[in-house]
Structure 1
C-alpha cells in the first residue's frame, strides 16, 4: 500500500469512527494521548474496513472489566463466580476483573454501580433486572464507548449491548415439550413457579413453557407464573398449599432456584409430581438420583463466563476475530449425570 492509499484508508477510518484524521494517526501510530473510548472507535472502524496493517491494542496497560453480579447464594451464581475467577486468572497478564454485587431488593444499587465505576473501565459485564433506571445507566455507558455484555438475562430493545447466554424462550419451550409428554388430562394441574419477572430471562422461560403447554396439552391446567424469588421458604409454603388442591397436581416447572424449599414441599406431599428445574448442580444430582427431580435444563455458566470475556477482549481490539464460544443449553437426567456437573 503506497502513501496515498494509506492516507485514504486512514481518512475512511476517521469518517467511520467520527473522529479527526489526526486522531486516527495518533491511535494507529501510537503518538500522543487519546482517550480509551476514541481509541476503541478508531480500532473498531479500522477492523470493520479491513485496514491492511498491524493494529495496536485499544488500551495501554491492563484492561479493566467490571463484573456486576446479583448477590445470590444460588448454585448458578456460585458457578458463575468460580468461572469468572478462572477466566481472570487465565488472562491475568492482560486484564483485571473487578467484581461487585448488588442486592435484588435495593432498586438503586445496580444503576449506581453501572454509572459510578471505582476506576475507568474498558468493559462491563452485568446481570441486570429490566427497569428504566438500569436501561438509562447502561445506555449512558455505551454512549461513552464502554462495551457492555448482558449476562444470563437479556434486555430487549437495547442496541449495542451483547447478550451472552442461552435462548431462554427455547429453554421454556423445551420444559413445556417434556412436561406435555409426561402429563395428561385428568391427572391434575401443572404449577409454574418463577423467580422475579423483572428478569427478562424468566419472562421468556415462562412464555415458552406456556406456549408449548397450550399447544400440546391444552386440557392440562397451568397455575402460575407464581413469583417466589428463589426463596426456599416461600417456595415450600406456596407449593405445599397448591399440592393440596382437590384436583391434584401432576407437574411442576421451576424456572429459577430455591430447590431446597421445593424438595421440602414435594417430600411432604403424598402425591407424586413431575418436577423440571434449571441448573446442573450437586444438589440437583442428589435429587435426580432420589427420583424427586425429573430433569434439569443447564445454561452453561462456564461457557457464559468464557464468552463474555472474549467479547470484551474483541471489543477492545485484543482478539482478531469475533468469539466463537457460545453457551450451550443442556438437558440432564439421572442417567447422564456423570460429566454434567461442574
Structure 2
C-alpha cells in the first residue's frame, strides 16, 4: 500500500498542515521540522502526485519557447513538433507559447519578455546565438525564478538549467569521419559552411570536425568557415566565391542550414567531379539531395524528441521532479540514401515518435 501524507505526519510527529506546508515549500516551518518531514518521506518512500496537487490548487504552468525568426525547413519542422507536444499529455495544465526573434538583431531578444510578460513564466526554452544579450536574458529569467532550457544550441556560460540537443562536438567529429571516408585518399580542400560562428552548435561542430580531419585525414585541408546566416542566396554566393577561389575543393561540410544554397553554387560551378557533401538535419531538401546523390550523408536529430524533451524538462523542473537522463538524451542519427526513412509531410528529422 502506498504511503500517504497521514503516514508522513505520524512518522515525523507533526500535523497534516505542517506536512502540507513542507511539501509546498511554504514559509513558517522550522528547519528541524522540515528535516523531520523530509526524513519521513525518504523512509516511507512517499512519491507525491504532483498532477493531483496542481489540480487541487488549479495551477497552470506557462512555458515560453524562444526561437529564431528564420525561414528554414528544420525550424518549421521544430515549430510543428512543439505545437504537437503542446497538444499532448506532456502539456497537461500548461500553456505553451512560441516567440520568434530576428536572429541578426542582437538586441531584439531583450524585448521578448516584455512582449510576453503579461503573466509569470514558469519555464523558458531558448534557441539563440551565444551573445551577451542572450546571457543577460537568461540571468534575468533565473533571477525571477524561471527554469531555463537551452535548445539545439547551448549557452554554457549562462546559468541555464539544462541543455536539450545532440552533442554537437561529437556530431562534427562524426561528420568528419563520414566526409573523410567518402572523399578517399585524394588530397584536397574542404569548404565548411556554417550558419554563424556566434552559434555555439556551429562552434562545437566545427571544433569536432577539425579535430578528426587533422587526426585521421591530414590530406584534407579545411578552409575558413563560410557564414551563410541561414540565408539561401547569401550561402549560394559565398559558396560560389569559395569554389572560384580554390581550385582543389573536394568536399563540403554544411554544418548548419544552407544546403540548398550550397547545391545551387555547386551546380553553377559545373565542376566535372562529384564533390562529397555532408549536411545536417533531415528535411525535404536534404532528403532530395540524398535521393539524387548531391548529398552523401546527413547528420540528423529528431525534432519530435527535441520538442518533447524540452517540455518534459521544463515540466519536471517546475514540479521539482527528477529527470530521466536517458530519456532526455538526443541521439545523433546518420542518414544515407540506403537507410533513408519513409517520407512524411511534415519533413521532420528522423521520425522516432516514441522517443
2:3 corresponds to: none
Is contact 1:314-1:322 (8 Å) kept?
Answer: no
Q: Which residue of 2 aligns with 1:64?
A: 62
TM-score, length-normalised on structure 2?
0.81
Q: Which residue of 2 aligns with 1:89?
A: 87
Structure 1 residue 243 and structure 2 residue 246: aligned? no
Task: Note closer, same or farther for the CA distance 1:3–1:301 as it changes in structure 2 (3 Å cut).
Answer: same
**CA-CA distance at 1:52 after TM superposition:** 3.2
Which whole-Å deviations, capped at 9, do the CAs of 1:130-183 have from their partners, x for residues lacking one? Answer: 112211221121122111111101111333421001000000000111112223
Q: Separation in 1 of the partners of 2:261 and 2:271?
A: 16
Displacement, 1:194? 0.5
Instruction: Select which of 43, 49, 52 maps to 2:46.
Output: 52
After TM superposition, where is structure 1 displaced by more than 6 Å over at least 4 residues in a row? 8-11, 44-51
Which of 12, 26, 41 is matched with 1:5 structurally?
12
The CA RMSD measured in Å over matched residues stands at 3.3
Q: Quick one: distance in 1 between partners of 2:27 and 2:236? A: 58
Corresponding residue pairs, total: 323
**1:212 to partner: Cα distance:** 0.5
CA distance in 2 between counterparts of 1:19 and 1:45 reads 19
1:258 positional shift: 1.6
How far residue 222 of structure 1 moved from its aligned partner, in angstroms, is: 1.0
1:53-105 alpha-carbon deviations (Å, 9 max, x no partner) = 63533974321111111111111111110101111111454111111100012
Alignment-derived partner of residue 156 in structure 2: 156
1:295-331, Cα deviation, whole Å (9 max, x unpaired)? 1111211111000111111112286654624322111
Query: Structure 1 pair 52/281, CA: closer, same or farther in 2 (3 Å)?
Result: same
Structure 1 residue aligned with 2:4: none
Taking a change above 3 Å as real, the CA distance of residues 198 and 121 of structure 1, as seen in their structure-2 partners, is same
Is contact 1:187–1:249 with CA below 8 Å preserved after alignment?
Answer: no
Structure 1, unmatched stretches of 5+, are 29-43
- 2:203 alignment partner in structure 1: 203
Alpha-carbon distance in 2 for matches of 1:254, 1:76: 14
Correspondence for 1:286: 288
Q: Is the 8 A contact 2:142 2:159 kept in 1?
A: no
Higher alpha-carbon deviation: 164-173 or 90-99: 90-99
CA distance in structure 1 between the partners assigned to 2:137 and 2:206 by the alignment:
27
Instruction: Quote the Cα distance in structure 2 between the aligned partners of 1:322 and 1:46.
Output: 24
Task: Identify the match of residue 299 of structure 1 among 298, 301, 305.
Answer: 301
